[in-house]
Amino acid sequence: MPIKIRNLFIHSFLLRQSEMISGKNISEKSVLIGLLAITAAAILLSANLNNNSALSSNSNQAIAQQQQLQTNNTIRVEAGGGNSTAPLTVYVPQNIEIKAGQTINWYNPTPVGEPHSVTFLKDGRLFPPFAAPFAVPNSTEFKALIPSPNVEPLIVPNPPGTESKTTTKTVIIDNARAYNPTVIDSTGKNVTYLSLNANYTMDGTESYVNSGWLWPQGQIPPGAPPITTFTVTFEKPGIYDYLCTVHPWMTGSVVVK
Protein backbone atom coordinates (compact mmCIF):
# COMPACT_ATOMS: atom_id res chain seq x y z
CA MET A 1 0.00 0.00 0.00
CA PRO A 2 1.45 3.45 -0.89
CA ILE A 3 2.51 5.41 2.21
CA LYS A 4 0.17 8.36 1.53
CA ILE A 5 -2.91 6.12 1.16
CA ARG A 6 -1.87 4.07 4.21
CA ASN A 7 -1.61 7.20 6.37
CA LEU A 8 -5.04 8.41 5.23
CA PHE A 9 -6.50 5.01 6.07
CA ILE A 10 -4.99 5.01 9.56
CA HIS A 11 -6.13 8.59 10.20
CA SER A 12 -9.71 7.72 9.17
CA PHE A 13 -9.67 4.57 11.30
CA LEU A 14 -8.46 6.43 14.39
CA LEU A 15 -11.05 9.17 13.88
CA ARG A 16 -13.90 6.65 13.75
CA GLN A 17 -12.67 4.82 16.82
CA SER A 18 -12.26 8.04 18.81
CA GLU A 19 -15.89 8.88 18.06
CA MET A 20 -16.91 5.47 19.43
CA ILE A 21 -14.88 6.00 22.61
CA SER A 22 -16.57 9.30 23.47
CA GLY A 23 -19.40 8.77 25.94
CA LYS A 24 -17.88 5.64 27.50
CA ASN A 25 -16.89 5.47 31.18
CA ILE A 26 -13.25 5.63 32.24
CA SER A 27 -12.80 1.83 32.47
CA GLU A 28 -14.30 1.19 29.05
CA LYS A 29 -12.26 4.02 27.55
CA SER A 30 -9.03 2.52 28.89
CA VAL A 31 -9.77 -0.86 27.35
CA LEU A 32 -10.84 0.61 24.01
CA ILE A 33 -7.78 2.91 23.84
CA GLY A 34 -5.51 -0.08 24.48
CA LEU A 35 -7.20 -2.13 21.76
CA LEU A 36 -7.03 0.86 19.44
CA ALA A 37 -3.29 1.23 19.97
CA ILE A 38 -2.71 -2.48 19.32
CA THR A 39 -4.82 -2.35 16.13
CA ALA A 40 -2.98 0.73 14.79
CA ALA A 41 0.38 -0.91 15.51
CA ALA A 42 -0.73 -4.05 13.67
CA ILE A 43 -1.80 -2.00 10.63
CA LEU A 44 1.56 -0.19 10.54
CA LEU A 45 3.48 -3.46 10.92
CA SER A 46 1.52 -5.10 8.11
CA ALA A 47 2.09 -2.12 5.80
CA ASN A 48 5.82 -2.08 6.54
CA LEU A 49 6.07 -5.81 5.85
CA ASN A 50 4.31 -5.33 2.51
CA ASN A 51 6.64 -2.45 1.58
CA ASN A 52 9.71 -4.47 2.57
CA SER A 53 8.42 -7.40 0.52
CA ALA A 54 7.97 -5.16 -2.54
CA LEU A 55 11.46 -3.68 -2.10
CA SER A 56 12.91 -7.16 -1.72
CA SER A 57 11.09 -8.30 -4.89
CA ASN A 58 12.41 -5.32 -6.88
CA SER A 59 15.91 -5.93 -5.54
CA ASN A 60 15.74 -9.61 -6.48
CA GLN A 61 14.60 -8.69 -10.01
CA ALA A 62 17.52 -6.25 -10.41
CA ILE A 63 19.97 -8.89 -9.16
CA ALA A 64 18.48 -11.47 -11.55
CA GLN A 65 18.80 -9.08 -14.50
CA GLN A 66 22.42 -8.33 -13.56
CA GLN A 67 23.19 -12.03 -13.21
CA GLN A 68 21.59 -12.69 -16.60
CA LEU A 69 23.75 -9.96 -18.18
CA GLN A 70 26.86 -11.45 -16.57
CA THR A 71 25.85 -14.93 -17.71
CA ASN A 72 25.23 -13.85 -21.27
CA ASN A 73 28.39 -11.70 -21.07
CA THR A 74 27.37 -9.93 -24.28
CA ILE A 75 26.13 -6.36 -24.69
CA ARG A 76 24.34 -5.30 -27.88
CA VAL A 77 24.98 -1.87 -29.41
CA GLU A 78 22.99 -0.25 -32.20
CA ALA A 79 25.16 1.07 -35.03
CA GLY A 80 22.78 3.69 -36.37
CA GLY A 81 19.03 3.42 -36.11
CA GLY A 82 17.49 6.81 -35.57
CA ASN A 83 13.88 7.83 -35.12
CA SER A 84 11.77 10.99 -35.24
CA THR A 85 14.06 12.72 -32.72
CA ALA A 86 17.44 11.00 -33.18
CA PRO A 87 19.77 11.02 -36.20
CA LEU A 88 20.71 7.91 -38.16
CA THR A 89 24.41 8.44 -37.45
CA VAL A 90 24.75 7.53 -33.76
CA TYR A 91 25.80 4.50 -31.73
CA VAL A 92 23.32 3.57 -29.00
CA PRO A 93 24.68 3.53 -26.38
CA GLN A 94 27.58 5.69 -27.48
CA ASN A 95 29.88 5.00 -24.52
CA ILE A 96 30.06 1.67 -22.71
CA GLU A 97 31.91 0.46 -19.63
CA ILE A 98 32.59 -3.28 -19.35
CA LYS A 99 34.92 -5.73 -17.65
CA ALA A 100 37.82 -7.50 -19.32
CA GLY A 101 36.55 -10.64 -21.01
CA GLN A 102 33.13 -9.22 -21.86
CA THR A 103 31.77 -9.09 -25.39
CA ILE A 104 29.98 -6.42 -27.42
CA ASN A 105 27.85 -7.14 -30.46
CA TRP A 106 27.12 -4.32 -32.93
CA TYR A 107 24.22 -4.46 -35.37
CA ASN A 108 22.51 -1.99 -37.69
CA PRO A 109 18.79 -1.37 -37.03
CA THR A 110 18.56 1.56 -39.47
CA PRO A 111 15.14 1.54 -41.21
CA VAL A 112 16.74 2.39 -44.58
CA GLY A 113 19.59 0.77 -46.51
CA GLU A 114 22.33 2.90 -44.92
CA PRO A 115 25.57 1.12 -43.95
CA HIS A 116 27.71 1.86 -40.89
CA SER A 117 31.01 0.47 -39.71
CA VAL A 118 32.67 -0.15 -36.36
CA THR A 119 36.30 0.79 -36.90
CA PHE A 120 39.01 0.94 -34.22
CA LEU A 121 41.69 3.18 -35.65
CA LYS A 122 44.81 3.56 -33.50
CA ASP A 123 46.84 5.00 -36.39
CA GLY A 124 44.98 7.76 -38.25
CA ARG A 125 47.10 7.18 -41.33
CA LEU A 126 45.29 3.87 -41.79
CA PHE A 127 41.89 5.50 -42.32
CA PRO A 128 40.54 3.52 -45.30
CA PRO A 129 39.54 5.42 -48.44
CA PHE A 130 36.80 3.62 -50.35
CA ALA A 131 38.91 3.48 -53.52
CA ALA A 132 42.65 3.47 -54.15
CA PRO A 133 44.49 4.50 -57.35
CA PHE A 134 47.78 2.88 -58.36
CA ALA A 135 49.99 2.74 -61.45
CA VAL A 136 50.66 -0.44 -63.45
CA PRO A 137 52.46 -1.21 -66.73
CA ASN A 138 50.36 -1.07 -69.88
CA SER A 139 50.79 -4.79 -70.38
CA THR A 140 49.15 -5.71 -67.04
CA GLU A 141 46.10 -7.93 -67.31
CA PHE A 142 43.34 -7.83 -64.68
CA LYS A 143 41.01 -10.68 -63.87
CA ALA A 144 38.17 -10.54 -61.38
CA LEU A 145 38.14 -13.19 -58.67
CA ILE A 146 34.39 -13.42 -59.20
CA PRO A 147 33.70 -12.86 -62.93
CA SER A 148 31.05 -10.20 -63.35
CA PRO A 149 30.64 -7.11 -65.53
CA ASN A 150 30.23 -5.14 -62.29
CA VAL A 151 33.76 -5.80 -60.99
CA GLU A 152 35.90 -4.51 -63.84
CA PRO A 153 38.60 -2.03 -62.72
CA LEU A 154 38.28 1.62 -63.65
CA ILE A 155 41.22 2.63 -65.87
CA VAL A 156 41.95 6.32 -66.22
CA PRO A 157 42.85 7.09 -69.89
CA ASN A 158 46.09 8.85 -70.72
CA PRO A 159 45.96 12.36 -72.16
CA PRO A 160 45.49 12.48 -75.97
CA GLY A 161 48.75 12.13 -77.90
CA THR A 162 50.69 10.50 -75.05
CA GLU A 163 49.57 6.89 -75.54
CA SER A 164 52.69 5.80 -77.44
CA LYS A 165 55.05 7.51 -74.99
CA THR A 166 53.46 6.24 -71.77
CA THR A 167 54.21 2.78 -70.44
CA THR A 168 51.93 2.93 -67.39
CA LYS A 169 48.26 3.44 -66.69
CA THR A 170 46.42 4.54 -63.55
CA VAL A 171 43.92 2.06 -62.18
CA ILE A 172 41.30 2.73 -59.50
CA ILE A 173 39.95 -0.20 -57.49
CA ASP A 174 37.79 -0.64 -54.42
CA ASN A 175 39.69 -0.64 -51.13
CA ALA A 176 38.79 -4.05 -49.67
CA ARG A 177 39.66 -3.18 -46.08
CA ALA A 178 37.11 -0.36 -46.13
CA TYR A 179 34.20 -2.71 -46.83
CA ASN A 180 35.28 -5.99 -45.23
CA PRO A 181 36.13 -7.18 -41.70
CA THR A 182 39.85 -6.50 -41.45
CA VAL A 183 42.64 -6.42 -38.85
CA ILE A 184 46.04 -4.74 -39.23
CA ASP A 185 48.60 -5.63 -36.57
CA SER A 186 50.72 -3.29 -34.45
CA THR A 187 53.37 -2.94 -37.17
CA GLY A 188 50.82 -1.56 -39.62
CA LYS A 189 52.03 -3.99 -42.28
CA ASN A 190 50.32 -7.33 -41.73
CA VAL A 191 46.70 -7.41 -42.89
CA THR A 192 44.23 -10.16 -41.95
CA TYR A 193 40.77 -10.43 -43.47
CA LEU A 194 38.18 -11.85 -41.07
CA SER A 195 35.08 -13.83 -41.91
CA LEU A 196 31.86 -11.94 -42.60
CA ASN A 197 29.87 -11.16 -39.43
CA ALA A 198 33.13 -11.75 -37.60
CA ASN A 199 33.59 -12.66 -33.94
CA TYR A 200 36.96 -11.17 -33.00
CA THR A 201 39.00 -11.16 -29.79
CA MET A 202 40.88 -7.87 -29.40
CA ASP A 203 44.10 -7.67 -27.38
CA GLY A 204 44.58 -3.91 -27.73
CA THR A 205 47.77 -3.96 -29.81
CA GLU A 206 46.07 -3.74 -33.21
CA SER A 207 46.57 -0.66 -35.38
CA TYR A 208 43.28 -1.17 -37.19
CA VAL A 209 40.19 -3.31 -36.62
CA ASN A 210 37.23 -2.90 -38.95
CA SER A 211 33.81 -4.56 -38.98
CA GLY A 212 33.28 -3.92 -42.66
CA TRP A 213 30.05 -2.21 -43.71
CA LEU A 214 27.18 -3.29 -41.47
CA TRP A 215 23.86 -3.36 -43.32
CA PRO A 216 20.35 -3.58 -41.86
CA GLN A 217 18.81 -7.03 -42.08
CA GLY A 218 17.04 -7.50 -45.40
CA GLN A 219 18.51 -4.34 -46.95
CA ILE A 220 21.86 -5.54 -48.28
CA PRO A 221 22.32 -4.27 -51.86
CA PRO A 222 23.31 -6.73 -54.61
CA GLY A 223 27.06 -7.29 -54.76
CA ALA A 224 27.80 -5.90 -51.28
CA PRO A 225 29.37 -8.20 -48.67
CA PRO A 226 26.41 -9.54 -46.62
CA ILE A 227 27.51 -8.20 -43.23
CA THR A 228 24.95 -7.39 -40.54
CA THR A 229 26.80 -7.83 -37.22
CA PHE A 230 30.24 -7.50 -35.68
CA THR A 231 31.24 -9.01 -32.34
CA VAL A 232 34.33 -8.18 -30.28
CA THR A 233 35.58 -9.67 -27.01
CA PHE A 234 37.89 -7.31 -25.11
CA GLU A 235 40.73 -9.07 -23.29
CA LYS A 236 42.67 -6.18 -21.76
CA PRO A 237 41.64 -3.08 -19.77
CA GLY A 238 41.87 0.22 -21.60
CA ILE A 239 39.91 2.80 -23.57
CA TYR A 240 38.94 1.73 -27.07
CA ASP A 241 37.65 4.53 -29.29
CA TYR A 242 35.98 3.73 -32.59
CA LEU A 243 34.17 5.43 -35.46
CA CYS A 244 32.17 4.81 -38.60
CA THR A 245 34.29 5.20 -41.73
CA VAL A 246 31.18 6.01 -43.75
CA HIS A 247 30.26 8.83 -41.33
CA PRO A 248 33.52 9.81 -39.52
CA TRP A 249 31.69 12.13 -37.08
CA MET A 250 29.85 9.07 -35.76
CA THR A 251 31.97 7.93 -32.80
CA GLY A 252 31.80 5.66 -29.77
CA SER A 253 34.03 4.29 -27.03
CA VAL A 254 34.45 1.19 -24.91
CA VAL A 255 36.05 1.44 -21.46
CA VAL A 256 37.34 -1.93 -20.29
CA LYS A 257 38.16 -2.32 -16.60
pLDDT, residue 222, reads: 86
- On the question of pLDDT at 68 being above 80, the answer is no
Q: What is the mean pLDDT of residues 30-38?
A: 54
Q: Do residues 54 and 154 share a domain?
A: no
Query: 33-47, 83-97, 166-180 — which is least confidently predicted?
Result: 33-47
Q: Do residues 24 and 142 share a domain?
A: no
How far apart are the C-alpha atoms of 31 and 136, rounded to whole Å? Answer: 109
* Better-scored residue on pLDDT, 177 or 191: 191
123 pairs with which residues across the strands? none
Choose among 169, 252, 175, 157: nearest CA to 213: 175
Q: Do residues 86 and 186 share a domain?
A: yes
* Better-scored residue on pLDDT, 117 or 145: 117
- On the question of pLDDT at 176 being above 70, the answer is yes
pLDDT, residue 112, reads: 86
Residue 24's Cα: distance from chain center in Å? 71
Q: Do residues 43 and 91 share a domain?
A: no
- On the question of pLDDT at 139 being above 50, the answer is yes
Domain boundary among 147, 174, 201: 174
Q: Do residues 146 and 251 share a domain?
A: no
pLDDT, residue 141, reads: 72
pLDDT, residue 31, reads: 47
Q: Do residues 109 and 148 share a domain?
A: no
Provide the number of structural domains found in the chain. Answer: 3
Q: What is the mean pLDDT of residues 187-197?
A: 91
pLDDT, residue 64, reads: 44
Amino acid occupying residue 45? L
Q: What is the mean pLDDT of residues 28-47?
A: 55
- On the question of pLDDT at 56 being above 70, the answer is no
Q: Do residues 197 and 96 share a domain?
A: yes
pLDDT, residue 140, reads: 73
Q: Do residues 8 and 57 share a domain?
A: yes
CATH number, residue 113 = 2.60.40.420
Q: Do residues 161 and 61 share a domain?
A: no
DSSP code at position 245: S
> Residue 21, SS3?
helix
Q: Do residues 228 and 111 share a domain?
A: yes
Query: How far from 75 is each of 51, 96, 98, CA to CA, in Å?
Result: 33, 9, 9
Domain boundary among 118, 149, 174: 174
Q: What is the mean pLDDT of residues 28-44?
A: 55
Q: Do residues 84 and 51 share a domain?
A: no
- 117 pLDDT tier (thresholds 50, 70, 90): very high
Residue-range definition of the domain harbouring residue 199 = 74-129+175-256
Domain boundary among 139, 154, 174: 174
Q: What is the mean pLDDT of residues 176-196?
A: 89
Average pLDDT of every residue of the chain: 75
Q: Do residues 141 and 123 share a domain?
A: no
- 70 pLDDT tier (thresholds 50, 70, 90): very low
Q: What percent of the chain has pLDDT over 70?
A: 54
- On the question of pLDDT at 227 being above 80, the answer is yes
